[in-house]
Amino acid sequence: MPETDILNPTTTWQSDIEDSMTPDYGFTRKRATTQLRKKAVGGTPWTRETQNTGHTFLFSWLQRSWLCVQRLKQYYEQYEDGFFTIIDQDGGGRHYVGRFSSEVVPTETGNGRWDVQNVTFEEIPRVAMVEYPSDWDHDSIFFGVNNDFGDQKLATSGAWSEASYAAAQITLGGILRTNLPGVIMTNPGTNAGDWAQFEYRGYGFQLYLVNGPAMGKADVYLDDVLLTTVDCYAASPGIDAGVQIAVSQPNVSLDIHRVKVVVDATKNASSTGAAISWYGLQVMR
């Protein structure tokens, strides 16, 4: 049996030799609760990420050969202490890295045909992936400076202040939006070491900062590791001014991560200032 056929979707089983052990796809993507939720009397609710639990799926294989069942058992036992990759071919080709966390129990349903039902596949955080999630239009969420109740969710240290901002042009959720109102956190850029950070649970991220003629430079860290130094200067008017993706980091394993922007207090020679403004963080889930 070719290894490329393992868990590879086909519409029907073929012969006992070529049977691909295909589950019935169309499963619903599920994710265990990862947040601590609280609501004070008379106050607004708040949440805090407490786990980095991945997605789980229930698989069923219907009317399969005994050869297929034996191979499924091998997958369960071989990867009890490891992991493998499944691809949701019906759901855009997204990869999930994990293992079967429940035992393969076959039931004979006919002459030489077996059902294996409700086997749990559990995604494992922090492991390297063959291909990281990249469908920003459908699998990502956007975190602004504040939540919908006006509570500040961005942690800051130093001379940061809140300001209203209308993004002239920005793409969110696959939609090009103009004059999108919002709130940004601004820093004059005069004190090196001032920082703003956001903690999230997920995979990769896209960091949105404001570019303009009076903007400066900042260091961007992921989990306390320096990724890059960004220059937020842009001549105005121009297509590079306004809210822009300052850093796009797609190849990040599932975990609880921290994105941190540290003011450099330096600027491009053409800039009239060294300010830094945080607009939001788009996170792959």
Residue pLDDT, tens place only, 218-247: 999 999 999 999 999 999 766 678 888 999
Region of poorest pLDDT, from 18-22, 116-120, 211-215: 18-22
Question: Which stretch of DSSP H or E encloses residue 73?
Answer: helix 66-78
pLDDT cut 70: percent of the chain above it: 84
Torsion angle of C-alpha atoms 123, 249, 139, 151, degrees rounded to 10: 100
Could you tell me the domains of the chain? 3-123 (2.40.30), 136-284 (2.60.120.260)
Asked if residue 38 has pLDDT above 90, the reply is: no
pLDDT in the model for residue 17: 47
* Residues 192, 158 contacting (CB under 8 angstroms): no
Residue pLDDT, tens place only, 70-89: 989 999 999 999 999 988 87
pLDDT in the model for residue 234: 92
Average per-residue pLDDT for the chain:
86
What residues have CB less than 8 Å from 219, skipping those under 6 apart?
Answer: 226, 228, 229, 261, 262, 264
Read off the pTM. 0.86
| Total count of residues recorded for the chain | 285
Asked if residue 249 has pLDDT above 60, the reply is: yes
How far is 185 from 277, CA to CA, in rounded Å?
5
pLDDT in the model for residue 32: 81
CA 241, 258, 280: angle at the middle one, nearest 5? Answer: 30
Asked if residue 11 has pLDDT above 50, the reply is: no
pLDDT in the model for residue 264: 97
The highest-confidence range among 69-73, 90-94, 273-277, by mean pLDDT, is 273-277
Average pLDDT over residues 13-37: 67
Higher pLDDT, 253 or 39: 253
Report helix, strand or coil for 182: strand
Question: Which stretch of DSSP H or E encloses residue 70?
Answer: helix 66-78
How far is 207 from 168, CA to CA, in rounded Å?
17
Report helix, strand or coil for 74: helix
pLDDT in the model for residue 167: 65
Higher pLDDT, 77 or 65: 77
pLDDT in the model for residue 36: 85
What residues have CB less than 8 Å from 40, skipping those under 6 apart?
Answer: none
Among 44, 46, 20, 26, residue whose Cα is nearest residue 35: 46
